[in-house]
A and B are shown apart, each in its own frame.
Chain A
Amino acid sequence: GDSVTQMEGPVTLSEEAFLTINCTYTATGYPSLFWYVQYPGEGLQLLLKATKADDKGSNKGFEATYRKETTSFHLEKGSVQVSDSAVYFCALSDGTGTASKLTFGTGTRLQVTL
């Protein structure tokens, strides 16, 4: 079945540091890929998405590129802020049209310090 593997956390960075959170996936067909973020006490918020190979999703300074050859969708940000501290989830929806059935990674907690 489909699966998503994320790097283990927590990741602790100083403000303005460069961020990379690795995400690889296994899926049949042509999945869409997503990054969601969860702040303490809240639900998930979509951060960015990519629906086909070589697409780059971007939002709020975060970027991720859909790499079919390496089955990866790594999240990057050039300069993190304290307000970016949260848990980040990589997810995929399968290619059969069932948008609501997302497969999530285990989440990576990011803590940004001054």
Chain B
Amino acid sequence: KAGVTQTPRYLIKTRGQQVTLSCSPISGHRSVSWYQQTPGQGLQFLFEYFSETQRNKGNFPGRFSGRQFSNSRSEMNVSTLELGDSALYLCASSWGVSGANVLTFGAGSRLTVL
């Protein structure tokens, strides 16, 4: 059973550019969420999608956006990159949205902004 797949695994961008990260959830999982991990702020929730609808959003500026497709695959986009956006971006999927559901995480996309 394939896990959560994130692409690309590593990327380097410069300030002002934009970036798109992709996440393919486990087959059958309909919920996808995104987290940002940095040494200073730790793991922070970005947003959650279920059945192509954004259900929840964390406290991030509008430069961070996402979407989910009908096959549950998700993308997140960061525009006008800043140095502080350098982080490991983790995607997680789950079957549903119950509070007891387990999230399965991908290996992450490590973004470096120069």
Contacts and interface: CB of A to CB of B under 8 A. Distances in A.
A96 B99 contact: yes
B97 A46 contact: no
Main secondary structure of the interface of A (DSSP, over half): loop
A31 B92 CA distance: 19
Interface of A: 31-32, 34, 36, 41-46, 49, 51, 89, 91, 93-107
A107 B42 contact: yes
Contact of B92 (A42, A100, A106): A100
A74 B101 CA distance: 20
Contact of A102 (B4, B31, B103): B103
A34 B97 CA distance: 16
A99 B90 contact: no
A31 B102 contact: no
A96 B99 CA distance: 7
Contact of A46 (B4, B103, B108): B103
